[in-house]
Chains A and B, each alone.
Chain A
């Protein structure tokens, strides 16, 4: 599926997650955040950066992992990305949401 964001065409799946991280830019991140009613602050970017690093090094994402990482405490994480923080933050970060095998 092709989606147009900030006049750029990007490939996304049915749920709006980027399927090719190389197409991701900060502007695209901001736009997707906007669709979820989120305005990105420095703290948001810090979390997004951490998520992108984890995914790049093949490390699994979990709420507990984020808690352990010390990047952010869990209550604030939920507050920054309402409606399922991992689901929403991964979408903004341009990476797949955490999945199972089916």
Chain B
């Protein structure tokens, strides 16, 4: 018997377990998946929790439910990957592997910025990238009546790069609905050169911030949070005052990657951008947020990667050359508030453009254009996530590689 070990039972790891259990001969392969946590979170829902659009129950389920029969679910902390000896050291015990899939994700690291994870954490400084953070922020917002809300990105890359912008848009709608928008100032602070950084998107979506009266502070590289005086300070002593700071801290790969010496400065694992094989070890593959590939860190990306990676694992087992197939394909809904959303579909090479999706010329979804239908799409996605995506079921009409059909490429 040979062993395939998946580290992490989040979106990417769970999908790989579901794909591989159908493909690997049971008589030859054992599949193990390791994750220390019991709960599987629907992370896109963390955007809606703070605004009371989703409840706690809608964003979490017992993870075990999604691990198929035939895969052994090991609920333990991973101590270290010993890639020289093909072993994974667990808190209690050790696993040997013939093939390892790293799907340990990325998480926030608020300790990376001075003053962020201090006495004001979850009092006036919040994240919404964790369940606990999103719930604490919801409670804070329920009683928030007036003042300066600063939505802030520490540094790139981050998981779901549009989420902070969506948060600012939804905050505008939320305060509007509460009848206190005039008493709340919303500022979006980014280390990048603007809220939109792609040539075509800047042209077509630039109106959104102005329309929603959201102030923009670009090129802001945070040095510290001065929590005693309620302001963030950058390296050239620019300051932005806040009453409520909603920040996206530095995102990093899991500490186990650092402990195992397998990551870069941010603990992301160097990975071939098209095959998803680790660049260091040929029997290690990496998927989802844990990689260093220049694709967005998003569930849709993990879904497209999973299809390519499943094929490549089988090719690897059969000693055949891997497919250089993954193209960085991402497909994301972007909430713009007032029950509208945008949809973007892009990859390593092709930036988001307008068009129709998934059926060229028909839609029903519209790319890079606000519509109520797109918003319904985003809400429907929660059902798709739990019932199709995690189970490794292909989404109808949406292929793993980006399709140029229905896209207005020349604009």
Residues of A within 8 A of B (CB): 13-15, 58-60, 62-65, 68, 74-75, 78, 84, 86-87, 97-102
Residues of B within 8 A of A (CB): 112, 155-157, 161-162, 165, 191-193, 196-199, 201, 205, 218-219, 221, 223, 235-236, 250, 264-266, 273, 292-294, 296, 330, 332, 334, 344, 346, 352
Q: Which B residue sits closest to A68, measured CB to CB?
A: B265
Once A78-B235, A84-B219 are accepted as A-B contacts, the answer to whether A102 and B155 lie under 8 Å apart by CB is no
Give the chain B neighbours of A58 by CB distance below 8 A: 273, 292-294
Once A84-B219, A100-B156, A101-B330 are accepted as A-B contacts, the answer to whether A63 and B235 lie under 8 Å apart by CB is yes
Q: Nearest Cβ in chain A — how far from B340, in angstroms?
A: 16
Q: Is the CB of B197 within 8 A of A97?
A: yes
Give the chain B neighbours of A97 by CB distance below 8 A: 192-193, 197
Q: Nearest Cβ in chain B — how far from A40, in angstroms?
A: 21
Once A58-B292, A68-B265 are accepted as A-B contacts, the answer to whether A99 and B162 lie under 8 Å apart by CB is no
Roughly how many angstroms separate A11 CA and B176 CA in the complex, as a whole number? Answer: 45
Q: Nearest Cβ in chain B — how far from A42, in angstroms?
A: 22
Q: Is the CB of A98 within 8 A of B294?
A: no
Roughly how many angstroms separate A68 CA and B294 CA in the complex, as a whole number? Answer: 21
Roughly how many angstroms separate A102 CA and B334 CA in the complex, as a whole number? Answer: 10
Q: Is the CB of A102 within 8 A of B197?
A: yes
Our pick among B193, B250, B264, B352 for the contact of A84 (Cβ within 8 Å) is B193
Once A58-B273, A68-B265 are accepted as A-B contacts, the answer to whether A63 and B197 lie under 8 Å apart by CB is no
Chosen A-B contacts, 29 in total, with CB atoms closer than 8 Å, are A59-B264, A60-B156, A60-B294, A62-B155, A62-B156, A63-B191, A63-B235, A68-B265, A74-B223, A78-B235, A78-B236, A86-B221, A87-B193, A97-B193, A97-B197, A98-B156, A99-B192, A99-B197, A99-B198, A100-B161, A100-B198, A101-B161, A101-B198, A101-B344, A102-B161, A102-B196, A102-B198, A102-B205, A102-B352
Q: Which B residue sits closest to A61, measured CB to CB?
A: B156
Once A87-B193, A102-B344 are accepted as A-B contacts, the answer to whether A64 and B201 lie under 8 Å apart by CB is no
Our pick among B192, B264, B266 for the contact of A98 (Cβ within 8 Å) is B192
Once A62-B191, A64-B250 are accepted as A-B contacts, the answer to whether A102 and B235 lie under 8 Å apart by CB is no
Once A74-B235, A75-B235, A87-B193 are accepted as A-B contacts, the answer to whether A102 and B157 lie under 8 Å apart by CB is no
Q: Is the CB of A64 within 8 A of B192?
A: no
Q: Which A residue sits closest to B368, measured CB to CB?
A: A102
Q: Is the CB of A101 within 8 A of B162?
A: yes
Give the chain B neighbours of A74 by CB distance below 8 A: 221, 223, 235
Q: Is the CB of B221 within 8 A of A64?
A: yes
Q: Which B residue sits closest to A17, measured CB to CB?
A: B199
Roughly how many angstroms separate A75 CA and B199 CA in the complex, as a whole number? Answer: 29
Q: Is the CB of A64 within 8 A of B112?
A: yes
Q: A59-B265, A84-B193 given; name 13 further pairs at CB < 8 Å.
A: A15-B199, A59-B292, A60-B156, A63-B155, A78-B235, A78-B236, A87-B193, A87-B219, A101-B161, A101-B198, A101-B332, A101-B344, A102-B201
